[in-house]
Each structure stands twice: as structure tokens, then as C-alpha cells.
Homo-oligomer: A and B are copies of this chain.
Amino acid sequence: MTLSMHQASVPVFVQGLKGLKGVLTKAAAQVEAKGWDADALLKARLYPDMFPLIRQVQIATDFAKGCCARLAGQEVPAWDDVETSFAKLIARIDRAIAYVEGLDPAAFAGAEDRDITLTRRGETSVVKGLAYFQGQAQPNFFFHLTTAYAILRHNGVEVGKRDYLGMA
């Protein structure tokens, strides 16, 4: 047995998104319990030129839906970046999980060799599906997932590795 591109990608994104949802759920409960200003966490950054928590979560979901859509040969759904609360960020994560789980596994057949066209800052590049998934989408996804977690931990939110892993 070997792995299909569907098996290689979708479960990884789903587990990561479920972990992120659990982390944000605990953060929201702690904000509530301690009477903290939710905005102070939602807009927190690790450094002035890094993205705040809200944006980290938006980008993590974007890499999940964008990568799976491209591997399945679908148009990438465009979602407005309008979340302003933990509840809305969690709803966006649920939407991303539903989207990637709803894609037809058969549509991923041959995705490893498919040309993926990416446009960033006006520049277009073409990479093969496997190189895109392994070299760009997946490491970027984990980058934003972990940075969201790191922002919360740095601010004293009591979450642990098992939350991040989606095992809590």
C-alpha cells in the first residue's frame, strides 16, 4: 500500500484545524473566566511586524482550504477576512474543516504531478502538486497554527501540546 494525495493531505489539515479549534475554545473560556479583554488576545503579536492572532488563524484556514482545493482541481473558495471574535474564528475553522472533508477523494488522483499555478504579489509560478503540498502549503499551515498557539501561550493562556495536536 502507498498513500494517495488525499490521504497525505486532508487528514493532516483536519487534525491541525481541530487542534486549533480546541486551543481557541480554551482561550475563549479563559478570557471569559478571568474577565480579560478578548481584543487584547485577538490582536496580540509576538513582534510588531508579525501578524496578530486573528490573522494567524485566517491564514491557517486559507492554507488548508487553498491546498486541498488546488490538489482536488477545484477553484479556491474566497473567504472575506472579517472575523473579530473567538466565536467567529472558530466558525471559520469549522467551515474549513467542512470544506476539506467535503472534497471528493477521487478528485485528488494524480494531484502529485498536477501543475499548480500560484500568484503571489503579482508574480505567477507553477509547481507540481507534491512540491506545493510538501514544500509550501503544509509547512505554512503548521507555521500559522503554531504561531497562533505561541501567541496564546506567551500571553499566559493555559493550553498544552495535546491541545495543539487535537488529542485533548
Contacts and interface: CB of A to CB of B under 8 A. Distances in A.
A105 interface: no
Contacts of A1: 110, 112-113
A130 B8 CA distance: 9
A12 B47 contact: no
Contact of A47 (B3, B11, B153): B153
A5 interface: yes
A46 interface: yes
A58 B150 CA distance: 18
Interface in A7-38: 7-8, 11-12, 15-16, 19
Nearest to A46: B154
A14 to B, nearest CB: 10
Given A2-B5, A46-B153, 14 more contacts: A3-B5, A3-B112, A12-B134, A16-B139, A46-B154, A135-B165, A136-B165, A139-B142, A140-B161, A142-B143, A143-B149, A143-B161, A146-B150, A154-B154
